[in-house]
Structure 1
């Protein structure tokens, strides 16, 4: 690939879905887009990028699907789901139980890919809350890829995908064998809804959530888009809401709102949490310069 090819495709991908590729990703571009380029009869990637921009059909969607398709698995990294089970969900239920009419739990799985994460969240809640049917639980799962949303909504997974990250007891309890694979049971599927959302565009209309999972997606954004998107996501959380990001992502550079919380080997954030006055006073005191001894 020439530098012009790479620049053309990087510009196209950024404009379509906000992913910031660079010249080190030429292997990814070729592995993901070579077949599309050949099919469209383009001589090079500069021509392909121009063709995709002017296309009135589904080519733009196909480019997004090809670039954003990510490998994922059930209960990926495990520790966030343990923190959800032993920390976030119990605290959330305890707080809401103080109010007779507050029985709603809203969770957002952003950049959900083919659905393993939102279904893992649903299964975790079902394991954690024996009376989950008495709660109004809604898990919104979103992605920018039409193909990913379609696959996730079907809830069907071949043996290779159910064998990775999924405990056998979960497979027997929450899936039904079907057509050489397994389909998520209706009682799990009923907790999850799917919608196409571009994280670089406004999503304020989605409302506020008690818990947001957005893991290993924003790392592909440029620094300005990264900061803006994290802040926008934080603004969608309730006052004591929990924000889970990927294990390699740190939000401490976003300001004092983003102090990491540690539980079950997982890190999460509560950017809208109102700290007690005495804790705030101690933080202020700790930042004041001490008097010199000289």
Structure 2
């Protein structure tokens, strides 16, 4: 690929889905888009980028589906789901049980890929709350890829995918054998709804959530888009809401609101929880001191 090819494709991908690629990802660009370039009969990637920009929504969708990463598995990293089971859900239940009319729990799995994360969340809720049917539970699962949303909505997984991260007890309890693979049971599927959402566009219409999982997606954004997206996610959380991000992602640079909380070897954030004044003043002072040393 020439530098012009790389610049053209990187600009196209950024405009379509906000993923910031550069010349170090030339191998990824070729491996993901070569078949589309050949299918469209383009002589090079510059020509392909021009065509994709002016083409119908179908080609743009194909580019997004090809370029977005779908590396996922059930109960990925495990510790966030342990924190969900032993920390977040019990605290939410205690908080909401004190209000007779507030038995609603809303969870958002942003960048849900092919559905393993939202279904893992649903199974965790069902395990934690034996009376979950007496609660108004909704899990919104979103992704920018139409193909990912379609696959996730079907809830069917071949053996290679159910063998990764899924314990036998969950398989036996929450899946049904079908066509050489396994399909998620209706009682799990009924807790989850799917919608296409671009995290770089406004998602205020989704409403507020008690818990947001947004893991290993924003790492592909540039610094400005990353900061804006995390702040927007915080705005979608309830006052005591929980934000779970990827194990390699740290939000401490976003200010005193984003102080990491630890439980079950997992890190999460509660950006809208009111910190005591003396803690907040101390955090601000630490930030100012650190900035002065730079």
Q: TM-score, normalised by structure 2?
A: 0.95
Q: Retained in 2: the 8 A contact 1:69–1:145?
A: no
Q: What secondary structure is seen at the aligned counterpart in 2 of 1:210? A: strand
Q: Retained in 1: the 8 A contact 2:256–2:280?
A: no
Tell me the alpha carbon deviations over residues 19-53 of structure 1, each in whole angstroms, 9 at most, x when there is no partner: 00000000000100000000100010001101111
Structural mapping, 1:243-258, within 5 Å: 243-258=243-258
Q: Retained in 2: the 8 A contact 1:175–1:185?
A: yes
How far apart are the structure 2 equivalents of 1:284 and 1:69? Answer: 37
Moved over 2 A (4+): 275-289
Tell me the alpha carbon deviations over residues 58-117 of structure 1, each in whole angstroms, 9 at most, x when there is no partner: 100000000114111000000000000000000010000010010000000000000000
* Cα deviation, residue 275, structure 1: 2.4
| Count of matched residue positions in the alignment of Structure 1 and Structure 2 | 289
Structural mapping, 1:69-88, within 5 Å: 69-88=69-88
Report what 1:62 is aligned to.
62
Report what 1:125 is aligned to.
125
How far apart are the structure 1 equivalents of 2:174 and 2:68? Answer: 28
* Cα deviation, residue 16, structure 1: 0.3
How far apart are the structure 2 equivalents of 1:45 and 1:12? Answer: 10
How far apart are the structure 2 equivalents of 1:194 and 1:182? Answer: 20
Q: Retained in 1: the 8 A contact 2:256–2:284?
A: no
* Cα deviation, residue 133, structure 1: 0.6
Structure 2: give runs of 5+ residues left out of the alignment: 290-294
Report what 1:43 is aligned to.
43
For the pair 1:102 / 2:79, whether they are aligned, the reply is: no
Q: What secondary structure is seen at the aligned counterpart in 1 of 2:100? A: coil
Q: What secondary structure is seen at the aligned counterpart in 1 of 2:26? A: helix
Q: What secondary structure is seen at the aligned counterpart in 2 of 1:58? A: helix
How far apart are the structure 1 equivalents of 2:123 and 2:63? Answer: 32
Report what 1:261 is aligned to.
261
Q: TM-score, normalised by structure 1?
A: 0.95
How far apart are the structure 2 equivalents of 1:112 and 1:206? Answer: 15
For the pair 1:3 / 2:19, whether they are aligned, the reply is: no
How far apart are the structure 1 equivalents of 2:46 and 2:215? Answer: 32
How far apart are the structure 2 equivalents of 1:288 and 1:185? Answer: 52
Tell me: CA distance 1:281–1:29, structure 2 relative to 1, closer, same or farther (3 Å): closer
Structure 1: give runs of 5+ residues left out of the alignment: 290-294
Q: What secondary structure is seen at the aligned counterpart in 2 of 1:212? A: strand
Report what 1:176 is aligned to.
176
Report what 2:211 is aligned to.
211
How far apart are the structure 1 equivalents of 2:288 and 2:200? Answer: 38
Tell me: CA distance 1:183–1:273, structure 2 relative to 1, closer, same or farther (3 Å): same
Structural mapping, 1:185-204, within 5 Å: 185-204=185-204
RMSD over aligned Cα, in angstroms?
A: 1.6
How far apart are the structure 2 equivalents of 1:273 and 1:13? Answer: 36
